[in-house]
Amino acid sequence: MKKKIIVTGGSGRFGIYLKRVKTQHKFFFPTKKQLNILSEESIFRYLKKTKGNILIHLAGLSRPMDIHKKDIKKSIDLNIVGTANVTKVCSKLNIKLIYFSTNYVYPGKRGNYSEEDSLLPFNNYAWSKLGGECSVQLYKNSLILRVCMTEKPFVHKKAFSNIKTSFIYHDEVANILLKLLNKKGVINIGGKATNIYNFAKKENKNIKKIKLKKKDIQKVMPFNSSVSIKKLNKIIKK
């Protein structure tokens, strides 16, 4: 069934790839001026006008990571308050909400985290995303995606060989997303668990291998933030 899908934050890194996906659904990518997540009135007005079936919430604050320490007001406003506003309006209009969270909400020590595992955000950014999750969890017509994705090609010239994760590229996530539009609850999205260097060298043979100092592990990056994608794979294979 053809759906009208509104995307907040569509001008961001992932939104660019989402715009390229071939689909029967009709996508709307409002600007910040058209849909301001800090204004319930603005959100309501746009959603009422477009009569969308689904809202994919990408808008928020991510990089640089230290901004979430330096300006916690901005982090709270955009990632927690903005998400709460979107949730309230979607609830009022009974619009399905899909929220993009992060694998960094998990502790990041042992890896292979499932959707049912305990949460302990790695940094302020992850805490702000978990804050957003809290409001979305109150609304049952919703889906939270804990995503571990990165740009293609890999943007850095160096990569850690002693830090493990479950990276997947933006274009892959965009295609997976279309298979999850009718799902609810929480789903991890990621790729095969491996160290960052091994992941990056598949696309860039010249990338330099480096190691993160032991004293910086769990400070700069989590040791193992990989996620279990068993739930995702069951859905995709159906």
Tokens linked to 86? 């979107």
pLDDT at residue 44 greater than cutoff 90: yes
Query: What pTM did the predictor assign?
Result: 0.96
Domain ranges of the chain: 4-158+165-194+227-237
Per residue in 95-147, pLDDT tens? Answer: 999 999 999 999 999 999 999 999 999 999 999 999 999 999 999 999 999 99
Query: Which residues in 154-173 are b (16+ Cβ under 10 Å) and which e?
Result: beeeebbbbbbbbbbbbbbb
Q: How many helices, marked H, and strands, marked E, lie in the chain?
A: 9, 12
Confidence of residue 155 (pLDDT cuts 50, 70, 90): confident
Query: Nearest 5 degrees, angle CA 186-CA 190-CA 195?
Result: 135
What percentage of the chain exceeds 70 in pLDDT?
100
For residue 143, which of 179, 190, 193 has the smallest C-alpha distance? 179
Per residue in 8-41, pLDDT tens? Answer: 999 988 999 999 999 999 999 999 999 999 999 9
What pLDDT, on the 0 to 100 scale, is given for residue 95?
Answer: 98
Sign of the Cα pseudo-torsion (32, 127, 131, 140, in order): positive
Fold designation for 4-158+165-194+227-237 = Rossmann fold (3.40.50)
